[in-house]
Structure 1
């Protein structure tokens, strides 16, 4: 089974000082689900890792992508149409979070691994009443 992750989860996993680090690491170790990341989060993750933790952290993240430790999910034209709808209804969430929602809807995923309780609690997906947010 695949677990859709957002930027915060990948960042928290890399940054041992992040308040979410232990929860994220423990959850991922216990579930053993393969992380899947929408392609739209990659630049955001890379930027945060590079600016906050340094170039080595960004390189390690790139290596994990290249080795298939995190699967990358494309964002389709239909996903972008849905993103535009979501941004019209929830303008504060931004394109990256809208793309996470759109990909989750397309893949029929109910569970999102996220540190962003505000945006993903607010959004009402098409395929379920509410996302199950972990950890």
Structure 2
């Protein structure tokens, strides 16, 4: 089993000043599933951490990834086109590439549970089977 992590959850877990820090830190610390970070999340995470000036936090996170605390899911050409098609299908919702990547990685892993603070987009997105994603943490952002 895997828990796919979106940018907001990882960022909040890393930034003690974030209002969702406690809930997201607890979610990650208590997860029994393998924690999976889609590669596009890393780019977005670096951007937000850099804007906040948390260079040491970024290094610590990368060391955790290197040490095996998180698995990075790379986006191959199949997942790339799946993400682009998902964006096109939900064009009216303006689903970005990172969110679409998170969704297709969930699909590729056979998971419906996703760790995200983006309830607006993930509340609308549906799995290939037509079901809803189970969004965690439960608390509102």
Q: Give the TM-score normalised by the residue count of structure 1.
A: 0.92
Once the two structures are superposed, the pairs formed by residues 16-27 of structure 1 within 5 Å of their partners are: 16-27=16-27
Report the Cα distance in structure 2 between the residues aligned to 1:22 and 1:110, rounded to whole angstroms: 23
- Verify the 8 A CA contact 1:3 1:113 in the aligned structure 2: yes
Alignment pair present for 1:58 and 2:64: no
What's 2:111 paired with?
109
Moved over 4 A (4+): none
TM-score by length of 2: 0.88
Higher helix share: 1
Q: Map of 1:83-102 to 2, 5 A cutoff?
A: 83-91=83-91, 92-102=94-104
Gap runs ≥5 in structure 1: none
RMSD of Structure 2 on Structure 1 (CA): 1.4
- CA offset at residue 4 of structure 1? 0.6
Question: How many residues are matched?
Answer: 135
Corresponding residue SS for 1:3: strand
Shift of 1:127: 3.2
